[in-house]
């Protein structure tokens, strides 16, 4: 069965003024859609054609001869996950069990925010900043290009896209402003809490 471009969980203008409709039209409608098309073309007629997205990522991770498949499959997964981690009127602070775990594993929510933004700021070139569960502990990590926690036996809870196409139309070269806005105005903490609860 061919991989599909998932529907966004909100309208194209729902994240304005923080992420514009123009950005989503390109980022979701062109970049994300392009990864889906390329992935389907690459796996057509192979033993990967019937595999789920996650199974495809795991099947080709680390295989240099299948880097094209990995890159496109991982980017489909990463973007599908990224969209869900944001919502209109998001941001602020988490509550409940998630807040307690962040305090326990990072010392405070402010410490978490600083470490998360540092991961995004120090990712040279294109990539992702992540909040993950690794052996029962919350950690912050970053991955270049299409790489993702799934390939490193980690459970992703939240990601921030720091490829330039995620923010350049709205923030130009001001990646730090985009990252601050992501945390303060966009994060869907309910989604993150549900990921933790399901881990």
Q: How many domains does the chain have?
A: 2
Nearest to 43 by CA among 63, 22, 80, 72: 72
pLDDT of residue 110: 98
Domain assignment present for 91? no
Residue 190: its pLDDT value, please?
A: 98
Is 12 among the domain residues? Answer: no
What's the whole-model pTM score?
0.97
CATH number at residue 186: 3.55.40.20
Dihedral of alpha carbons 114, 116, 121, 124, sign: positive
Q: Which residues contact 109 (CB under 8 A, 6 or more apart)?
A: 93, 94, 99, 102, 103
Shared domain for 76 and 112, answered yes or no, is no
pLDDT of residue 6: 97
Do residues 80 and 100 both lie within one domain? no
E strand spans, 34-176: 127-134, 137-144, 155-161
Q: Are 83 and 5 in contact (CB under 8 A)?
A: no
**Cβ-proximal residues to 177 (8 Å cutoff; 6+ apart), any chain:** 171
| Chain-centre distance for alpha carbon 168 | 17
- pLDDT, residue 162, reads 98
Taking the CB of residue 60, how many other CB atoms lie within 10 A of it?
A: 24
Domain final residue pick, 84, 104, 121: 84
φ, ψ at 107 (rounded to 5°): 100, -35
- Distant-in-sequence, close-in-space partners of 61: CB < 8 Å, separation ≥ 6: 70, 150, 151
Q: What is the pLDDT of residue 180?
A: 98
Identify whether residues 114 and 58 lie together within a single domain: no
Residue 13 lies in a domain: no
Q: How far is 161 from 113, CA to CA, in rounded Å?
A: 15
Q: Which CATH number goes with the domain that contains 70? A: 1.10.287.990
CA dist 75 and 36 (Å) reads: 9
Residue 89 lies in a domain: no
**pLDDT (tens place) for every residue of the chain, 199 residues total:** 699 999 999 999 999 999 999 999 999 999 999 999 999 999 999 999 999 999 999 999 999 999 999 999 999 999 999 999 999 999 999 999 999 999 999 999 999 999 999 999 999 999 999 999 999 999 999 999 999 999 999 999 999 999 999 999 999 999 999 999 999 999 999 999 999 999 8
Q: What is the CA radius of gyration of the chain?
A: 16
Q: Which domain holds residue 54?
A: 21-84
Nearest to 186 by CA among 2, 24, 52: 24
Residues 71 and 148 in one domain: no
Let me know whether 138 and 193 are in one domain.
yes
Which pLDDT score, from 0 to 100, does residue 1 have?
Answer: 66
């Amino acid at each position: 069965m061919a991989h599909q471009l998932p529907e966004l969980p909100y309208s194209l203008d729902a994240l304005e003024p923080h992420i514009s409709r123009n950005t989503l039209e390109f980022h979701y409608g062109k970049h994300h859609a392009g990864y889906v098309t390329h992935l389907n073309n690459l796996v057509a007629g192979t033993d990967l054609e019937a595999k789920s997205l996650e199974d495809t990522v795991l099947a080709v991770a680390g295989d240099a001869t299948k880097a094209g498949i990995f890159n496109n499959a991982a980017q489909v997964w990463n973007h599908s996950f990224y969209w869900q981690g944001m919502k209109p009127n998001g941001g602020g602070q988490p509550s409940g069990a998630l807040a307690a775990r962040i305090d326990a594993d990072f010392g405070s929510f402010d410490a978490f925010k600083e470490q998360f933004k540092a991961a995004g700021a120090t990712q040279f070139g294109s990539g992702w900043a992540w909040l993950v569960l690794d052996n029962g502990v919350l950690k912050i990590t970053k991955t270049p290009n299409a790489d993702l926690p799934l390939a490193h036996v980690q459970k992703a809870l939240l990601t921030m896209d720091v490829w330039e196409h995620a923010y350049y139309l709205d923030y130009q070269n001001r990646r730090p402003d985009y990252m601050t806005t992501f945390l303060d105005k966009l994060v869907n903490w309910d989604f993150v809490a549900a990921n933790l609860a399901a881990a």
